[in-house]
Amino acid sequence: MSLQWTPSSWRDKPIAQDVVYEDKEHLEKVLTKLRRLPPLVTPVEIDRLRSELADVAVGKAFLLQGGDCAELFDDCSQDPIEHKLSLILLMSLIILHGSRLPVVRIARIAGQYAKPRSKPTEVVSKKEVLSFRGDNVNGYDPSDRNPDPERLLGAYFHSTATLNYIRALLSSGFANLHKPLDWSFSHVRSPQLQAAFSGVIESLQDSLDFMKVATGGSGGLERGGAETVSLYTSHEALLLEYEEAFTRAHGITSFQSFSSPPTRGHSPPMSRSSSHARVGAANSLPHSPARTVRIPKSPGLSDSASSLSMHVQNGQKRSDGEVKYYNVSSHFIWIGDRTRQLDGAHVEYFRGIANPIGIKVGPTMKADELVRVLNVINPDRIPGKVTVIGRYGADKVAEFLPGHIDAVKTTDHVVVWQCDAMHGNTKSSKTDPTLKTRHFVDVIHEITESMRIHREKGTILGGVHLELTGEVNEQGFSVTECIGGSMELEDEDLSFNYRTHCDPRLNYEQSLDVAFLIADHLKA
């Protein structure tokens, strides 16, 4: 592994799941445009998430990450965004109530467009066509499968519109904890779920009222105060050309106002913990030469990351501002199970950025390989920087997770252990083998097994990673993509409202079922 890192050094490495564009000139034109477009998120927000994840790593907060397998440009619309937001908020409220832990919310949203595929082609209506790679690569319509660089711009603008509406909703009281029933819970038909949720609301409202009286204010029950909550964005960083275009340098000198660490004063009491001291200490460790560089005050830092990289001389201290690279397209990005090769392009890209990052880990990951990947992507051992996202499958988690935990325990890495209870549990429907499905019992089994194993090992399951949706059809019925849950969906029901263009998602009710279950287990 060479020490020289730049936002484009991944280009010298073998790349898995590459997208080959025919019109290279067109691609270059699009990338030039993307490099000039403004960030979607800021380093301050990214650093804040990293410090919140350091809390998660030591059991002082719980991480809830969820959303679509793949967002679609067509779903960038008012109702779908509101449904996604309200579902994640409801789930977090249920978990917060049960566990008494602050919940860090990360949505697979505002950029989750690119998909890795197991095969480059697929058969649609008896014709072999290129596989659908996500809306930022090609179209779902079989006649539109050639990769089109223009779609990268589409991804940026749809991400921007989505995030803009989320920010607007959050700053307009959508997440006001005094009004959670407005978060479109009303269409949930299950009387048990309605009753369980009313119980949560009543007791929460009691606490809020008490805190108001006791503190003379909102009580700060939530991060950001009781009036609103924070929500972070995430996506799989698969298309490295796109990610590179949003990899921007931020130096202490030139971006003082942007890159100063988040003021602790803004965090409500529940988010403060002793682990912050550790984060502070870790942040002040000497930076690896590969990730921290010094560049001249001028020329302007606002130039594109790639032009900046010309100034970057790894390991060489230059006279003024310290510079870190942030991926400003999203707060959190992860490496998929198909692109996490130790010597591959994705690991190379990830090792240079300051964002908190995830790495998907399945049964094919060797324990010593996991440690080697962690050493590469987190050389400074920053707590909360890496989330290990286990996706073993309900029947394999007990076989593989213990070895991975043991291997990491022998190191000084403080990781967030997260359970992706979806990707190891995909099956074909029995009634229609063309439909992919997941069984609710498998999802629950993988989560509870992960909790049990961590308890036995003295480590902490910090969070879950789920594919879910609040989407409903015109009649208000939730999607029918996964089997089971309190609605007792059966295999024969799947075709009723099967809408995903990618992996099957937990629907509104099934997601709330999972949240109640997690809350119960965290209580225990």
Among 69, 130, 238, 354, binds Mn ion (CB under 5 A): 69
Q: Which residue, 136, 378, 361, is CA-closest to 241?
A: 136
Specify whether the CB–CB gap between 333 and 235 falls below 8 A.
Answer: yes
325, two tokens: 């690279």
**What three-state secondary structure class fits 427?**
strand
167 carries a ligand binding annotation: no
By the rule CB under 6 A, 423 interacts with ligand PEP: yes
Question: What is the contact mask toward ligand PEP in residues 45 to 84, using x (rule: CB under 6 A)?
Answer: ------------------------x---------------
- Contact residues for 164 (Cβ-Cβ < 8 A; gap 6+): none
391 carries a ligand binding annotation: yes
Give the residue with the Cβ less far from ligand PEP, 13 or 338.
Answer: 338
348 carries a ligand binding annotation: no
Report the interhelical angle of 191-215 vs 78-99 (nearest 10°): 70
By the rule CB under 6 A, 337 interacts with ligand PEP: yes
Question: What is the contact mask toward ligand PEP in residues 92 to 121, using x (rule: CB under 6 A)?
Answer: ------------------------x-----
Report how far residue 445's alpha carbon sits from residue 318's, in angstroms, rounded to the nearest whole number: 53
Shortest Å, Cβ 18 to ligand PEP = 16
Q: Which does 142 bind (CB under 5 to 8 A by kind): ligand PEP, Mn ion, none?
A: none
423 carries a ligand binding annotation: yes
Among 360, 438, 439, 445, binds ligand PEP (CB under 6 A): 360
Report how far residue 169's alpha carbon sits from residue 511's, in angstroms, rounded to the nearest whole number: 22
Specify whether the CB–CB gap between 321 and 237 falls below 8 A.
Answer: no
Subset of 439-458 contacting ligand PEP (CB under 6 A):
none
Shortest Å, Cβ 113 to ligand PEP = 11
Shortest Å, Cβ 215 to ligand PEP = 40
CA quadruple 152, 332, 288, 16: dihedral sign? negative
Task: Concatenate the DSSP letters of all residues of 404-423 into one string.
Answer: HHHHHHTSS--PEEEEE-ST
By the rule CB under 6 A, 133 interacts with ligand PEP: no
Q: Which does 337 bind (CB under 5 to 8 A by kind): ligand PEP, Mn ion, none?
A: ligand PEP
491 carries a ligand binding annotation: no
189 carries a ligand binding annotation: no
In this structure, which amino acid lies at residue 95?
A: I
69 carries a ligand binding annotation: yes
Q: Are strands 357-361 and 386-390 parallel, antiparallel or unpaired?
A: parallel
Which of the stretches 45-53, 138-146, 282-290, 330-338 binds ligand PEP when contact is defined by CB under 6 A? 330-338
Size of the site for ligand PEP (CB under 6 A): 9
- Kindly report the length of the chain: 524
Give the residue with the Cβ less far from Mn ion, 113 or 183.
Answer: 113
**H/E element holding 50?**
helix 43-57
Q: Which residue, 160, 157, 442, 104, is CA-closest to 273?
A: 104
Report how far residue 359's alpha carbon sits from residue 388's, in angstroms, rounded to the nearest whole number: 5
**What three-state secondary structure class fits 114?**
coil
Binding stretches for ligand PEP (CB under 6 A): 69, 116, 236, 336-338, 360, 391, 423
> Residues comprising the binding site for phosphoenolpyruvate?
108, 360, 391
Residue ranges of the annotated binding site are 69, 108, 360, 391, 423, 467, 503
Site residues, Mn ion (CB under 5 A): 69, 503
